[in-house]
Amino acid sequence: MKTPQQSYRLTEIFYSIQGEGLYTGMPAVFVRFAGCLMACEFCDTVYVEKFKMTAPQILAEIKKYPTQTVVITGGEPAEQPLSELIKFLTAAGLKVHVETNGSVYFDPAGAENITVSPKKYVDARMLSAAHVIKILAGRETDYDDLKKYFQYFSPSRLLYLQPRDNKQENIDLCVKIIKQNPFLRLSLQTHKFANIE
């Protein structure tokens, strides 16, 4: 396996518990990439660049922790050469999960899980490549806009609604929509409820 030569712009690397989606409750090392061109006004993540690391340096940091699962998140990780890093980490024996807004297509080969959380723009190829599509929903959500993602549901591709900001009114709305469309699932940000860093 060829080692990626570039440095990746990062915000943080930390060991914690996955708080949302399909793998809720699973320990993982989170590699948070810096930068996101969408810069959504409701984003709850700090993704300014704090340091740079090469792929071998990232791997060495991940190996300090007792898990084989790594979550590459952001910001938007696909704005950097992501496919090469996925292949490198997979070749090292890691289970790679990627959280992306799906705006930039990348080759997902080797990743155990791709979660696409569409925002202002999403590349349809990423929706087709996703294992999970996780849609933020709240009172301002346009139901007709939401329904366009329903076509991507399959036994191998799950669709989650995640209440924006964990607000009760948004949770109630998501529950109502899910009851009307029982192929959907609810994703709560359990790490925030449990105050897990």
For residue 194, pLDDT over 60 is answered with: no
What spatial distance separates the first Cα and last Cα of the chain, rounded to whole Å?
34
For residues 16-34, give the mean pLDDT: 94
Domain boundaries, the chain: 7-193
Answer whether residue 65 shows pLDDT above 70. Answer: yes
- The whole model's pTM is what? 0.92
Residues with a catalytic annotation lie at 30, 36, 40, 43-45, 99, 191
- Among 18, 36, 184, residue whose Cα is nearest residue 101: 36
Instruction: State residue 193's pLDDT score.
Output: 56
* Domain covering 7-193 assigned CATH 1.10.3720.10 in the classification: no
Place 196 in a pLDDT band, splitting at 50, 70 and 90: low
Bond preceding residue 75 cis, omega within 30 of 0: yes
Q: How confident is the model at residue 192 (pLDDT cuts 50, 70, 90)?
A: low
Q: For residues 99 and 114, what is the distance between their CA atoms, to the nearest angstrom? A: 6
